[in-house]
Structure 1
Amino acid sequence: MKSSFAIWLDAARPKTLLLAIAAIATGSSLAYSAGHFSFAISFLALITATLLQILSNLANDYGDAVQGTDNENRIGPIRGLQQGVITQSGMKKAIIANIALIIISGLALVFYALQSPTSIMAFIGLGLLSILSSIAYTMGSKPYGYVGLGDISVFLFFGLLAVLGTYFLHTGTVNSSLLLPAIGSGFFSMGVLNINNMRDVENDAISNKRTVVVRIGTEKAKCYHLTLLSLGWLAFTGYLLANVTPIWLTLFMLLPLALVMKHGKTIWKIQNSKEFIPMMPEMVKCAFISNIVFAITLVLSSI
């Protein structure tokens, strides 16, 4: 039998936490290349983003359990609430505790990084919106994840906000040229959610969870997935081609390209939903390595 620590570690879904690390690394590397970098800001941003990812995972477990979506027909990993090793009351307490930690970490980050009252209030507002978004994905009477809006939320919070917000915390500015890496990070994060939804498509449909995959079908979702992978990699690489010298450093992006192509080829050939199960960590790996290689390339060009 698993220990209490192991049970809660599973609930936090540690493999997905790499997405938070990746997005913060991308935003921080952009700030470094602009001549503005603070280890303290990066560290606090990383803690806050990781806690938000954990909150999203815990709230997702709670919401899907209450909605009845996590049932015996679901083919993904069996969650703590689904097994009965975590109670609804215990999960609620964990969610509340996690929110408290996010508020502490987020306020420390904002007040350390920013001086302008307007900027401070704006980031506090964005932080509260991030918390609300994490909770409302599957919790409440009208969870937006059940009407197919999860992909947009992931793009906004794990792409645009995570990357551009991190850059702003370092520099106090932001510009439109940074949209490319923010889009790249967002598309790869959307790919992780898409794998999850392709795996669970049959049970989601029965449970009236109208994800993008349920709406368009698995075959079209595969095309959607390949589009996310391709545009994500191109967004990262396009930014490097326009901003990195010497230009040959951009060749480092061939490493994530090889992983992305291999992953995409495997996804295209899948015929059974159960075959998507091992693809989740592979997609996380693609997202993480693409962001990290981008970040390293950018930093190397700035030395």
Structure 2
Amino acid sequence: MEHTTPHRPLHAWLLAARLRTLPLACASILLGSGMAAQAGGFQGGVLLLSLLTAILLQVLSNLANDYGDAQSGVDDASRTGPVRAVASGLLTPDAMRRGMLLTGLAAAIAGLSLLFVAFGSDLRSWLVFVLLGAASLLAAITYTVGLGGKPYGYRGLGDVAVFVFFGLLGVLGTLYLHTQSLSGLAILPAAVCGLLATAVLNVNNVRDIHSDARHGKMTLAVRLGKRRAIHYHWALLGTALLLTLVYLVWLPVPWVGWSCLVVAKPLYDAGRTLSRTEDGEQLTGMLKKTALSTLVYSLLLAAGLALA
């Protein structure tokens, strides 16, 4: 059950923004920037504006998720996890729509500023990244709000979107913004970041599997069922570890880079908890542990690459 919270506007907006999800949004930016430093193309302005854009897009996605789930009825009294601002009455739907609009505009301004710093007058790169930015904005909004039908997050496609936007696009896009070049080997850490971010989503979806199923929110966990969703979780973590080892061996880095493997222990602990309990509070804790592990992984590997 959710806890009641006094109506304070600032608190309501911070609640809806779900600040605890922001480390995950930053992980791919930090990793891509570390790879850029290893390649000798790091730019401080690109890092700062990339982080700002990613954070605003994540907040936009969280606001849209709060709004969309409230409109669909998924966020009822039986739901476990954090209090939702619209469903609990802390914010009205109209206020949330205005908040989404302002956050989307801020993300667009930050993104365009990022492109100016990264590319100057290179119109071809501008066009490609404007299209990618538009896709990111659309994906952030339509995850639970949808356009012309059910949101894609309600059809089991959220995992694919998270893998692409928090992994491949986040890491490789950041690397390209710094260096205007890519290497084939770069796809390995990008895939790892995406796999770990998808594991975070899977913990969330397993936690909410029963309430989601009752309300027709057909996440991949609902489609698989809990037992197979847990097997899927272990596959995500195992594949991430394997790809990391391949990358570290292929591209020798200092010991700081290898220290990214320390996250294997908390990730394993979170996976065991996911396998053994249905307690919502414990699973929420494991969700946070998995997200923070992803951030630590990215920081340590980025540091190792920068020192290489």
- For 2:57 and 2:226, how far apart are their aligned partners in 1? 29
Is 2:125 aligned against 1:119?
A: yes
Residue 172 of structure 2 contacts residue 182 of structure 2 at CA under 8 Å; is this kept in 1? Answer: yes
* Residue 58 (structure 2) pairs with residue 53 (structure 1): yes
Kindly state the Cα deviation for residue 271 of structure 1 after the two structures are TM-superposed.
Answer: 4.2
The amino acid of 1:82's aligned partner reads A
Alignment-derived partner of residue 293 in structure 2: 286
How big is the shift at 1:21?
1.3
Residue type of the alignment partner of 1:139 = V
**Correspondent of 2:82 among 77, 85, 93:** 77
Paired with 1:222 and 1:286, the residues of 2 have a C-alpha distance of: 18
Equivalent position SS for 1:187: helix
CA contact (8 A) 1:241 1:250 kept: no
* Structure 2: runs of 5+ lacking an equivalent: 1-5
Between stretches 78-87 and 274-283, larger displacement belongs to 274-283
**Aligned position for 1:300:** 307
Return the alpha-carbon distance in structure 2 between the equivalents of residues 274 and 206 of structure 1. Answer: 20
Which shows bigger deviation, 282-291 or 50-59? 282-291
Give CA-to-partner distance per residue, 1:25-51, whole Å, 9 cap, x none: 000000000000000000000000110
AA matched with 2:287: M
Indicate the residue corresponding to 2:138 in structure 1.
Answer: 132
Match of 1:234 in 2: 242
RMSD: 1.4
Output the CA distance in 2 between the equivalents of 1:271 and 1:68.
22
Match among 180, 188, 195 for residue 196 of structure 2: 188
SS at match of 2:86: helix
Percent identity between matched residues is 39
Residue of structure 1 equivalent to 2:221: 213
Match of 2:3 in 1: none
**Aligned CA distance change for structure 1 residues 76 and 34 (closer, same or farther; 3 Å):** same
- Provide the residue aligned with 2:208 in structure 1: 200
When residues 123 and 92 of structure 1 are mapped into structure 2, their CA distance, relative to the original with a 3 A threshold, is: same
CA distance in structure 1 between the aligned counterparts of 2:210 and 2:273, rounded to whole angstroms: 20
Instruction: Determine if contact 1:198/1:273 at 8 Å carries over to the other structure.
Output: no
What count of residue pairs does the alignment treat as equivalent?
300
Q: Does 1:261 align with 2:261?
A: no
Instruction: Kindly provide the CA deviation profile for residues 2-32 of structure 1, in whole angstroms up to 9, marking residues without a partner as x.
Output: 5321211111111110012111000000000
CA contact (8 A) 1:23 1:291 kept: yes
In structure 2, the residue matched to 1:149 is 157
| In 2: Cα distance, 1:271 partner to 1:5 partner | 32
Tell me how far apart the structure 2 counterparts of residues 250 and 66 of structure 1 sit (CA, whole Å): 44
* Contact 1:24/1:163 (8 A) holds in 2: yes
CA contact (8 A) 2:263 2:293 kept: yes
Task: Give the corresponding residue for 2:45.
Answer: 40
Task: Check the 8 A contact 2:199/2:236 in 1, yes or no.
Answer: yes
The aligned residue for residue 165 of structure 1 is 173
Q: Deviations over 1:215-251 (max 9, x none)?
A: 01111111111111222233233212211245x4554
Shift of 1:74: 1.1
1:93 aligns with 2:93: no
- TM-score normalized by the length of structure 1: 0.95
Paired with 1:276 and 1:92, the residues of 2 have a C-alpha distance of 30
- Distance in 2, matches of 1:32 and 1:193, equals 29
* Cα distance in 2, alignment partners of residues 163 and 7 from structure 1: 32
Q: CA deviation at 1:298?
A: 1.4
